Chain A
Amino acid sequence: QKEVEQNSGPLSVPEGAIASLNCTYSDRGSQSFFWYRQYSGKSPELIMFIYSNGDKEDGRFTAQLNKASQYVSLLIRDSQPSDSATYLCAVDNTDKLIFGTGTRLQVFP
């Protein structure tokens, strides 16, 4: 069974620090990778997607993909208390997505 794994956390970082969120996946044939943010009681919202090995930057967010190691990560620079949420990693699976269980991030002032 194809799997996506994340550490559930919580990951606690001080305001202004870099938060590093990690995700591993089992299907070597996966092509598309997504990071969603979910605030408590709300629906998931897309932050970034990445298709190619390497880094992709969007503002304070950087997604990193290493297909050889089957590893995708999300870096959040200059973390803010408003970044406190659960971050879901998702991997494509033939017209569907497989989601990890999410990592809860807490940014303290």
Chain B
Amino acid sequence: DAGITQSPRHKVTETGTPVTLRCHQTENHRYMYWYRQDPGHGLRLIHYSYGVKDTDKGEVSDGYSVSRSKTEDFLLTLESATSSQTSVYFCATTQGGDTQYFGPGTRLTVL
């Protein structure tokens, strides 16, 4: 398995506060992805990165931004958290752009 960690693993925050989730990988994979998973919706892509400083939007990018200043780190920021962003967030990586390996997830609750 790719060495992927996510922090924090659990977070409770209040509406309107900024939140940053971190994904760290030790595999030197080129591609990194942020998903959210909600009941009935499956995994939905928020943003992804195909290299340092190279990012693009996924299907549910509104309200989220990302940054990748180093190969190993991919940050997801909720500028002003809303209750609709309560979810489980997964990071995934791949070298070749197809087979993805997932981190352990972050459970975020926005009150």
Query: How many residue pairs at the A-B interface have CB separations less than 8 Å?
Result: 47
Q: Given the known A-B contacts A43-B102, A45-B102, are A95 and B50 also in contact in the complex, defined by CB atoms under 8 Å? A: yes
A92-B48 Cα distance, complex, nearest whole Å? 14
| Interface range for A | 10 to 19
A97 touches B104 (CB 8 A): no
Given A34-B99, A46-B99, A101-B41, are A95 and B31 also a contact pair (CB < 8 Å)? yes
Whether a CB of chain A sits under 8 angstroms from the CB of B98 is yes
Among the listed B33, B48, B90, B98, which residue makes an inter-chain contact with A32, where contact means beta carbons less than 8 Å apart? B98
Residues of B within 8 A of A101 (CB): 40-42
Whole-angstrom CA separation of A34 from B102 in the bound complex: 13
Q: Does B97 count as interface, using CB distance less than 8 angstroms?
A: yes
Query: By the criterion CB–CB under 8 Å, are B101 and A88 in contact?
Result: no
Q: Which of A42, A97, A100, A102 contacts B100 (CB 8 A)?
A: A97
Check if A44 sits within 8 Å of B90, measured CB to CB: yes
**Which residue of A is nearest B102, CB measured?**
A43
| Cβ-based interface call for B45 (8 A) | yes
B87: min CB distance to chain A, Å: 14
| Min CB gap B7→A, angstroms | 14
State the CA gap A100–B44 with chains docked (Å). Answer: 9
Measured between beta carbons, the chain B residues less than 8 angstroms from A95 are: 31, 48, 50, 97-98
